[in-house]
Chain A
Amino acid sequence: MSILVVEELGKTYSGFQAVRNVSFALEAGEMLALIGPNGAGKSTCFNMIDGQLAPTTGRIAIFGKSTAGMTPGDIWRLGVGRTFQVAATFASMTVAENVQMALISHHAARWLTLRWAARRHVAEAEHLLDLVGMADQGQRSCGELAYGDLKRLELAIALANDPKLLLMDEPAAGMAPRERHAVMDLTARIARQRGIGVLFTEHDMDVVFGHADRVLVLNRGTLIAEGAPHAVRANAEVQAVYLGAGSLYRTHT
């Protein structure tokens, strides 16, 4: 069974159709890239899948359950991890505490008032930080991390509820080239080990080619191509979207 099924998804903002009739599915252990030019509707799609936006039309099912009416919190509880284009972490906490916070929420302990939060799930947090290669940075303040490490921390937070689906919006944005591949390698390794399906958007074509099993191309809200990276690359319509339809303006030259 596919872990994520999107059917005929559409979103209209005050008359403007940002996304129309998008359908696809994601399998366990698969790395699926969602790409397209600016304004193609990638973020809108993402925000509908993670519950921040309600779709105008269509259905989304995660692990076979319809997510209609669910909040981002409900969807997290289904077993979905999420990272953001601009890393979202808790700046007044240490690296370890960031992960512990996610674990506390996952273990439904967030209403306790007379216990020390910093003493909860210490080993589990260490394990997750170790997994993303930050074992020795647990006691650092979140505010003093390099950006690449913030992205790794976000990944550790996203893994805290032992998800089977990861939604990553531009996981490599804002990082130096070498670091991008390191983070994507790490993500792919974890995904394969744990059978996690990963849906990610990305601008960096090296990252897409290096790490995606399959690619979806959005343009003006519509899915224009889908398939293995090399097949999509050969697609004429995709080339036109990326390079511009040169033939259109020949008359002027």
Chain B
Amino acid sequence: MNKVGTIEAAMERIQDGATLLMGGFGVCGIPENLVRALQQRGTKNLTIVSNNAGVEGAGIGLLIENGQVRKMISSYIGENKVLEQKVIAGEIEVELNPQGTLAERVRAGGAGIPAFFTPTGVGTPVAEGKETRNFNGRDYLMETAIRGDVAFVKAYKADKHGNLVYRMTARNFNPVMATAADFVVAEVEEIVEAGQLDAEQIVTPSVFVDMVIKGERYDKRIEKRVNRQKSGAGI
């Protein structure tokens, strides 16, 4: 089995109007090579499911600035000023989800669970229009699963079967997004032969992954560089 593909072949799989799941937390652990290729291709009317919306000039920010995004489903979009302007102008719709709800909706989508109940957001604007049910004396909101047409994830290494390992907090939403789309592309920093990754250490089993791409260039932008002399522990 060999799932190693080209970035061009990956781009063939995403059409105008698609729902695209994307890993990353801020610009940490984002599939930056796939995003740049998608920007060049100019695919439009995308609904993007991603915790954040990138920053100006990086990550999903590139797609937003290029007018390719119709809707964002996220938990926090505060770092992107261009998005803010486009939301005010009515060019982009934003659906905000609590971060854990977003993660669980995608997890459910990948796990064959159509909906679930969560205590998060009861009695808040998030609950509007949603079913509430009481279990054991506490109210819970019903949230529905999310699936995508395509997922772009970033891992540290892949083998040719598509097994993935991640690096530190660049893992974030990537393993979840990799489970919940019809076509899953993983871009990685290194591709090895099957058997060269320790099977005990694999985070995303190959069954979830359709194509593996070796990223050509990693900028790995740091959003907030904070050093030790400024403060004590780094939360």
Q: Do A and B bind each other?
A: no
Q: Residues on A close to B: CB < 8 A?
A: none
Q: Residues on B close to A: CB < 8 A?
A: none
